[in-house]
Amino acid sequence: MHHLLDILASGVHDAKNQLFVAESVIAALEAEHGIAMGEARYAIESAANRLSRTLAAYQVLRKDAAPAVTPVIVGDLCDEVVMAQQRHLALANITLSMDCQVIDEWLLDRDLVADMLNNAIQNAGRYAQGKVHLQADVEDGWLLIRIEDDGPGFPSLPPPYGTGLMVAHRLAALHVRKGREGSLHLSNDASLGGARFELRLP
C-alpha cells in the first residue's frame, strides 16, 4: 500500500547517509587544518533538511503523516535551531537572538518543529535588515514560538498560500492535545517592525 512512500523514504535515507559522510569529511578537515568550512556544512544540512521536508510534504498530502510526539525541553530545541542558523546569518550581518521563557518540557514532534523553525528563520533572514529574533513563551497553556525580523514584513496578508505554507499549517495542526490543535499565524506584528511567524502548540 505504501510502496511508493517506501521507495521515496529509502532514497531520502540513502542520500542523507551520503551527505553525512560528506559532512564528516569536511568536519575532520576543519579540525585538522583549522579552517572554517561552516558554509559548506550548512549547505549540506540544508540540502538534507530540504529532502526531509519534501518527504514530509508528500506524507501530508497523502494524509498519512503522524507526529512523533515526545517530551522536549523547549530551551534545548531553541538552542539547536540557533546553533544551526546563527553563523550563517552572521555572514550576512544578521544577528540572531533568542529568548526562551519555558522551563518545562513540552509535548511535540522535535524534528518536525525544529525543521519548521529552521525554515522560518531562513525565510526571515532573507528579508531582515540586521535582526532576527526567536522567542518562546507559555501563554494560557499554549506554547508560543515566534520568529520576528526587522525587514519590510509580508507584502500582503495572508501571504500567497504555496505548498510549503500549506504543509507547515498542516504539520502545526497535527499537534493535538486535550482537544486543542496547533496552528500557525503569519503577521506583520513583529516588535522588531517586520514579519512575524508564530507557532502555537497545545
| 45 lies in the binding site for other proteins (CB under 8 A) | yes
Q: How far apart are CA 170 and CA 166, in angstroms?
A: 6
Round to whole Å and give the CA distance between 174 and 167.
10
Phi and psi, residue 190, nearest 5°: -60, 140
H/E stretch holding 72 reads: strand 70-73
Q: Does 101 bind other proteins (CB under 8 A)?
A: no
| Smallest distance from other proteins to CB 84, Å | 8
Give me the half-sphere count of Cα atoms (radius 13 Å) on the Cβ side of residue 68.
Answer: 5
In angstroms, what is the minimal distance from the CB of 89 to other proteins? 16
Q: Applying CB under 8 A, does 84 fall inside the site for other proteins?
A: yes
91: contact with other proteins by CB under 8 A: no
Count of residues that bind other proteins according to CB under 8 A: 44
Handedness of CA 29, 86, 100, 60 (dihedral sign): negative
Helix axes 110-127, 74-91, angle to 10 degrees: 30
* The only residue of 36, 50, 54, 56 in contact with other proteins, by rule CB under 8 A: 56
Q: Which is nearer to other proteins, 74 or 192 (CB)?
A: 74
Residue 4 in the binding site for other proteins (CB under 8 A): no
Kindly tell me the burial class for residue 188, based on how many C-beta atoms sit within 10 Å of its own C-beta (0-12, 13-18, 19 or more).
middle
Residue 50 makes contact with other proteins by CB under 8 A: no
CA 122 → CA 87, 140, 178, distances in Å? 12, 29, 32
Interface pattern 116-155 for other proteins (x via CB under 8 A): ----------------------------------------
Residue 107 in contact with other proteins, rule: CB under 8 A: yes
Site of interaction with other proteins (CB under 8 A): 9, 12-14, 16-17, 19-25, 27-28, 30-31, 41, 44-45, 48, 52, 55-56, 66-71, 73, 76, 79-80, 83-84, 103-105, 107, 109-111, 177
